[in-house]
Amino acid sequence: MSRVRRRADVEGEESERLAPEAVKSGESRGRVFEETEHAYRTAFQRDRDRVVHSRAFRRLEYKTQVFIYHEGDHYRNRLTHTLEGSQIARTIARALRLNEELAEAVVLAHDLGHTPFGHAGERALNELLRGEGGFDHNRQSLRIVDLLEERYPGFRGLNLTDETREGILKHGCSWEHPVRVPELGRQPSLEAQVADFSDEIAYINHDLDDGLRSGLLRLDQLAEVSLWDETRRGVEDRLGDVGERVLRAQTIVALIDRLVTDLVESTAARLEATPLGNVDAVRAHRERLVGYGAELAGAKGKLKRFLHENLYLHPRVKNVSERASGILGELYAAYREDPKLLPERVRGHFEADGEPRAIADYIAGMTDRFALQEHAARTDHPDPLLEGCHAPG
């Protein structure tokens, strides 16, 4: 056996090891700009690494998930959310004999397009760009990997494979995109479907954890949510009196495990009942094959509704959201009024992308902290949110 495992070896192993419906690295539909393959990394390992080395990826650290970053050092931000999601995706993909690196690459890239201040920022930009085709974070993630990262000679963007871009697109592409969009079927690959569920499993659980830690959610409220309550009782029976802190952590661990296990088992059963044989048949199939069993799907739906009503719409979270919209709106107006406030690099994109889109790209790329500082510099009334904002050490 050779001491070095070359790409061709890994590709060969995949044909033995992966499910027939998995995407095989050696059969990728390729990149927009043709490149020589790497000596020992597969196409999707390369995609993953390109995402991790991008500027947009590093900025995720200072972008809000639910809690703005200066509210505390232990809350999730977009980066830790992304990392938790990507490792859940690897577990699920590996258990289902799917392409782990592809699922991982999709999750690592899936939130690159998020604006500062989470979904509030996204809604604000969508409103501002209403007459210009709107704004949504999936579209923005694709703009980042296809256009906005500048790292390579000869092309804009990261030149990722069609399979990773298919996963980033999520709900298809209903807008004008200046780069060739991968051919989309009725469904994306199983790896992209796994990526979607992994994102959801990650945020449900870490939002519960952060929600409880912050005091915005209370345990007595959660006692009425059956999925939480059952899981917590199961942990208590198994571990006895371990104290509230450990009990809460172990409930989250058990809940992630329960969601992942049900997803793996239910998906495997569906694939067993409907063997499609290859990835093209997965794309053409009338429904998604990755999913929970009916019972858990219902229980999870209730838990998500609980989070929505009690955490995402909590007055404290909403207050930050409203201020965030104001901040982004005023920044946008200031740049439109006087484009000289923008870096030359951004103005350089006016001709190709149009002024509103180029400004939105710039604002969307900002971290929370930078947006607050920029807002303070461009207007005469810094937002009080800036008060709690210190440069991280």
What's the min distance (Å) between Cβ of 166 and Mg ion?
17
Residue number of the CB closest to Mg ion reads 199
Stretch that binds Mg ion, among 14-22, 110-118, 314-322, 357-365 (CB under 5 A): 110-118
**Closer residue to Mg ion in complex, CB, 202/252:** 202
Measured from the CB atom, the residue of 25 and 198 that comes closer to Mg ion is: 198
Residue 104 binds to Mg ion (criterion: CB under 5 A): no
**Judged by CB under 5 A, does residue 122 bind Mg ion?**
no
Q: How far is the CB of 245 from Mg ion (least distance, A)?
A: 26
| Closer residue to Mg ion (CB): 117 or 332 | 117
Contact pattern for Mg ion over residues 189 through 208, marking x by CB under 5 A? ----------x---------
- Tell me the HSE value of 47 on the side-chain side, using a 13 A CA sphere: 31
Told to check if 111 binds Mg ion by CB under 5 A, we report yes
Stretch that binds Mg ion, among 12-20, 24-32, 108-116, 152-160 (CB under 5 A): 108-116
Minimum CB separation of residue 252 from Mg ion in Å reads 17
Least CB distance to Mg ion at residue 199 (A): 4
Between residues 18 and 68, which has the closer beta carbon with respect to Mg ion? Answer: 68
Residue whose structure tokens are 């920022």:
121
Q: How far is the CB of 119 from Mg ion (least distance, A)?
A: 10
The residue among 21 and 199 lying less far from Mg ion, judged by its C-beta, is 199
For Mg ion, the closer of residues 14 and 196 by Cβ is: 196
Choices 32-40, 106-114, 347-355, 383-391; region in contact with Mg ion by CB under 5 A:
106-114
Of 202 and 222, the one with the shorter C-beta distance to Mg ion is 202
Q: Binding residues for Mg ion, per CB under 5 A? A: 111, 199
